[in-house]
Structures are given as C-alpha cells and as structure tokens.
Structure 1
Amino acid sequence: MPANDFGNKAISEISRYQVGNKHICRGGARLGIYFLKNGSAIRHSKVIYDRTGSSIATIKEKEINWEDIFAEASWFHWSGITPGISKEASRECLLACQAARKMNIKISCDLNYRSKLWKCGKEPCEVFPELLAHSNVILGDLATLYNMLGKEEIAPNYENCYSLNQYYKEIVKVCPNLEFLPTTLRYSESASHQKIGGVMYAKGNIIKSEVKEVFPVVDRLGTGDAFMAGIIYGLIENLDHQEVLDFAVAASLYKHTIAGDVNVASLEEVHAIMKGDLSALIKR
C-alpha cells in the first residue's frame, strides 16, 4: 500500500472487517483504482481501470519475506489479475506460490484473467501454468483454464459429466496438486436478473448445485469473490463437498444484493439461502 492517506484509508477499511494488516508493506506511488458504470436491464455494466504504476505493480524484489509471513498461515490465495499487471507482480506471485508450496500451505487461485490489465511482458499461457501447478484449488471456467494453460479451445457442456471428467483429467496432468476446481454457472436474463449455480471437481468426483435466481441485482461486482470465499470457508471448516459448493453459491447469491466490494453477510444469512429461504420477509 502507498504510504499516503489513500493507503491509510484502505488499511482502515479492511481492518473494520477484522482482516489482519501487520504484514502490509508501505511503498510505491499510488493505489490502483477502477471506475464502475452499473448496468441495468439490457444495459451492461462497464469497468474502467486506472492501475498503472500502482504499489503492487511496482513491488520490489525481497520487499516481502514470504516465509516469515507463511510461518503464521495455513492458506494462501492469489488472484489471476495479479501476475498480469507487471513483471514485478508476476515475479512476486510466483515467489509466493513457491514459498507456500515449500511450506506445505494450501494454495488457491481465482483465475479472473483481465485482458485490459495484462502488462507483464509475457503471454498468459507463459505465466499461468507454473503458478497453477502449485495450486490446490482453482476457481475458473474450463474454457478459460484450458486457454491459460496453452491448450486447445474447448466449449464444455456442464450438463455432461462424462465430458467434464475428461477435461478435468487433462487439467490434473499439468496441475498435479489440484484437489478442487469449482466453477460458477451464471445464466444472465439481464443485468438486473441473474440465475446462479455451480459445479465442482472434488478429488475425482463431480458435484453440482441447484441453480437459484436473484432479481433485482443490486451489485454484480464481487460476486465471484464471494463464491471463492465460500469455497475457502467450506474447505477450511471441513464441510461435506456438496455443502462447500452450496455454501459458495449461497454466498455469491447474497452478494448480488449488497452494494460495494464486501459481502456483508452473516453465516446465518448464507445458511438460510442454502436451505432455500429466498422469501426476503422481514425478520422480526
């Protein structure tokens, strides 16, 4: 984070949600930002990025001692955005994954590739394979994952478990540490009306969730992060694999009703959606 008021405010914001901040490094010139034009009905949302020269993009080698940080950790999560924003960030992401693997820490990835942010000097298929090979949990759709691994183009049918299993087998060959591969299934009626479900490869098995509706949508951004957070929570809590996926789908659904980046939801509220309580009646 930059050592200025924007950096201070960002740290203050995450602290109010009990997220630890003692390992945050202060440096760099600025905080990366983006602007969102919210869609509605048939009008799609639009994002404008302003992240050039951000602190994370200009991170210096050895500025972070990953082994010191991971001494207190059991799980490391990286975003597919990070290795693409600069060669420095790409290097640091790989160093973090290597340190986490060496220390036998679980590694998860949200493969949220953004073409407009890819500026590391290499093609995605030159960067992602080594990073993904370290990862135990990968969130992403199969077509994108195949592309990032430099494999052929595919058009997976998520209703066909046999063909899905063939794709998963190919991925495990190049991602030997992979245990779970969840995918969000989104069916967009309009920007304001979404249907959400999920499918997950789980240690050789294929698990599917029920598809549920959310209408009207308040804010779609952050719903993938909520899904990923639900997967991580469920696995850490050792939930049944079906419950892991159902919890993630419920968390994502709930985030569609919350404005802003953070899914301000209680466990009780997410569990209620898991159980099919979509009535939205006032709780008195």
Structure 2
Amino acid sequence: MSLTFRSADSVAFDIISLGEIMLRFDPGDGRVRTTRRFVVWEGGGDYNVARGLRRCFGKRAAVVTAFADNDIGRLLEDFILQGGVDTRFIKWAEFDGLGRNVRNGLNFTEKGFGVRGAKGTPDRGLTAAMQMKPGDIDWEEVFGKQGSRWFHTGGIFAALSETTAELTIEACKAAKKHGTIVSYDLNYRPSLWKSIGGLAKAQEVNREVAKYVDVMIGNEEDFTASLGFEVEGVSEHVTGLQVDNFKDMIKRAVADFPNFQVVATTLRDHQRLGRDMLARRRVPRSQPLAEAGNLRPRRRR
C-alpha cells in the first residue's frame, strides 16, 4: 500500500466529504407509523466519515453539500457545527416558502427488534443536494487554495440525480489534480439508480469515477453491480459467498483500475463480520474484525 499525502501544514483540512446530509428522525424503540415523538439529528453516509474523523481523532474536517435556506437547513448547519465540521463549502439555495422548488432531506429511521429488521423511510425529493450540478462548487478554491489531504464521497450521492453523478466525477477529477487522496464508497442502491438509468447508468458513472479513486470501498454486491465485474460464485444477488472467488474479483478490479491503492470491504457470512483489505499489487488478506485490533462487532444503531 502506498498513499502519498499532501503535507498537513500545506492544506486547511485533513478530510473533505461530498454528499447529502439529511435531518434524521428517530422514534426510539417505537415505530415511525405509531410514534408521537422523535429525536432528531443530522446524518449522511459521506458526511459521517468526516464527522467521525473530527470527533474521534481531532482531524480538520469540512463538508461540501447544499441546503435550502430555511430553518430546517439552519438546524442542519447547527448540528454540523456542533460536530466540529467546517461549513464554509455549503451551497445555500433560496427557499420558495413552500418547498415546491427546493427542500431539505428528511430520513425517518427505526431500529430493528427481534425478527423485525431496521427500516428507513427517506423523504428526499427535490432536495437542494440532489439538484447540485457541475459548476456549483469552486473546486479550485476547495482543493487548490484551501486544500485537503483526503476527499471522500460515494455512490449514494452520485445516484441522487443525473447532475450529482456529473458533479461527483468533476469533484474527483479536481481532487486528483491537486494531489488529494480520493476514497469512494460504492454503496450500490438499486432504488436510487432506477429512475436515472438503472444498472447500466450505475456502471457507467462508477467506472468513470473509479479512474480517479485511490481507496475503493464496497461489498460483494457493490463490485458486481456498480463496476460490472463477474466472477464465478459472485454476483449482485450474492448467496453462499465464496471468499476466494471474491478475492479473485478484487484482483481483477485492481488489474482494471491500477490507480486503486487500497480496496476495502466488509463481508458477512452467517452473521459473522469480517474485514478484507487489498493493497495494490499484493495478495488480498482477510481477517475477522474480532482479531483486527481487538475490535468487536456492535449492534446496529
């Protein structure tokens, strides 16, 4: 593995993420359909990476996203600031007073219990983030004048609309131009890609993004569906996963995209969590999480 970082004193940030941030509604131990009370906070897959690095390790973090300029957007901004993440790159969209033209995303989530799985009900149509497009963000300011050692984004944001897909590619190109490490979480969601071209569009976009990625993250379904790799025993409908076959697929991914310095994935088989990581031009190695730094699986929250 060989990742070359920009020096810390030459940039303003250690990590910048690009993605949608929604207001999350949590009914506690109840159900969304029956509760009369929610606890709210902010959340977004790409943003969570930046916030986690800020809160856990004290890294300088910033987020690139967009909000409708109303009280909900300002509440989200306040949550982000409380997490210590810089908000200077947020794009504010004028609110029309109704939400006919632009909104902020809401995400209603409930915990699983017993045989009942966890469930999420997003309400994210017409959000400011999904309307972001190439040219909205001054990437020369973000990665050139300000600068960051690491940039993270993923397939959920890319799948929100035709324009967010284009913006994701634009951002990754700009980051690489300025020597910033790029990580990308494939995170394939068929429901998001369905209305903008489905599986074919997902592969078109993700294979273009992959050209600029140093650290690629995804599970077995992500690599087969998002990048179009087909290896015996591995498909987008994975059952009875054969780990050796999956390792073969990772080797092929690195062969097709030699810019990949690290490929990281989590595999679950019979409720056992595992970790796999591939360093470029090295044999993939797998290790149960329980043996990796004394980590222990945690219940989903």
Q: TM-score, normalised by structure 1?
A: 0.68
State the partner residue of 2:27: none
State the partner residue of 2:258: 176
- Is the CA contact 2:150–2:180 (under 8 Å) kept in the aligned structure 1? yes
Q: Does 1:155 align with 2:228?
A: no
Paired residue secondary structure (1:58): coil
Structure 1 portions without partners, runs of 5+? 190-194, 213-241, 260-284
Could you tell me how far 1:66 is from its partner in structure 2? 1.2
Could you tell me how far 1:153 is from its partner in structure 2? 5.8
In structure 2, the CA distance between the partners of 1:92 and 1:154, relative to structure 1 (3 Å rule), is: farther
In structure 2, the CA distance between the partners of 1:186 and 1:164, relative to structure 1 (3 Å rule), is: closer
Letter of the 1:37 counterpart: E
Letter of the 1:31 counterpart: N
State the partner residue of 2:78: 12
- Is the CA contact 2:133–2:166 (under 8 Å) kept in the aligned structure 1? no
Could you tell me how far 1:164 is from its partner in structure 2? 4.3
- Is the CA contact 1:140–1:183 (under 8 Å) kept in the aligned structure 2? yes
Q: Does 1:120 align with 2:196?
A: yes
Q: Does 1:42 align with 2:115?
A: yes
Aligned mates of 1:188, 1:33 — CA distance in 2: 33
- Is the CA contact 2:104–2:124 (under 8 Å) kept in the aligned structure 1? yes
Matches within 5 A, 1:202-217: 202-203=279-280, 204-212=282-290
Could you tell me how far 1:158 is from its partner in structure 2? 5.4
Q: Does 1:137 align with 2:218?
A: no
Could you tell me how far 1:172 is from its partner in structure 2? 1.5
State the partner residue of 2:177: 102
Q: Does 1:62 align with 2:135?
A: yes
Could you tell me how far 1:165 is from its partner in structure 2? 4.3
Letter of the 2:170 counterpart: L
Could you tell me how far 1:61 is from its partner in structure 2? 3.4
In structure 2, the CA distance between the partners of 1:180 and 1:130, relative to structure 1 (3 Å rule), is: same
Identity of aligned residues (%): 27
Could you tell me how far 1:24 is from its partner in structure 2? 1.1
Structure 2 portions without partners, runs of 5+? 1-66, 95-101, 235-240
Paired residue secondary structure (1:209): strand
Q: Which segment is superposed worse, 77-86 or 195-204?
A: 195-204
Matches within 5 A, 1:188-203: 189=271, 195-203=272-280
Aligned mates of 1:205, 1:151 — CA distance in 2: 18
Aligned mates of 2:181, 2:204 — CA distance in 1: 23
Paired residue secondary structure (1:94): helix
Letter of the 1:151 counterpart: F
The alignment covers a number of residue pairs equal to: 216
State the partner residue of 1:225: none
Cα deviation 1:225-258 (Å, max 9, x = unaligned): xxxxxxxxxxxxxxxxx9xxx36x93x845x36x
In structure 2, the CA distance between the partners of 1:197 and 1:55, relative to structure 1 (3 Å rule), is: same
- Is the CA contact 1:87–1:121 (under 8 Å) kept in the aligned structure 2? no
Cα deviation 1:52-103 (Å, max 9, x = unaligned): 1111111143110112101221111112101111011111111001111222
The RMSD of aligned alpha carbons is 2.4
- Is the CA contact 2:185–2:216 (under 8 Å) kept in the aligned structure 1? yes
Aligned mates of 2:117, 2:231 — CA distance in 1: 26
Q: Which has the higher contact order (CA 8 A, sep 6+)?
A: 2
Could you tell me how far 1:121 is from its partner in structure 2? 4.0
Paired residue secondary structure (2:72): helix
- Superposed structure 1 runs of 4+ greater than 4 Å apart: 156-159
Letter of the 2:207 counterpart: P
Q: Which segment is superposed worse, 111-120 or 81-90?
A: 111-120
Letter of the 2:284 counterpart: I
Could you tell me how far 1:176 is from its partner in structure 2? 2.3
Q: Does 1:86 align with 2:161?
A: yes
Paired residue secondary structure (1:26): strand
Aligned mates of 2:123, 2:113 — CA distance in 1: 23
The structure carrying a bigger helix percent of its residues is 1
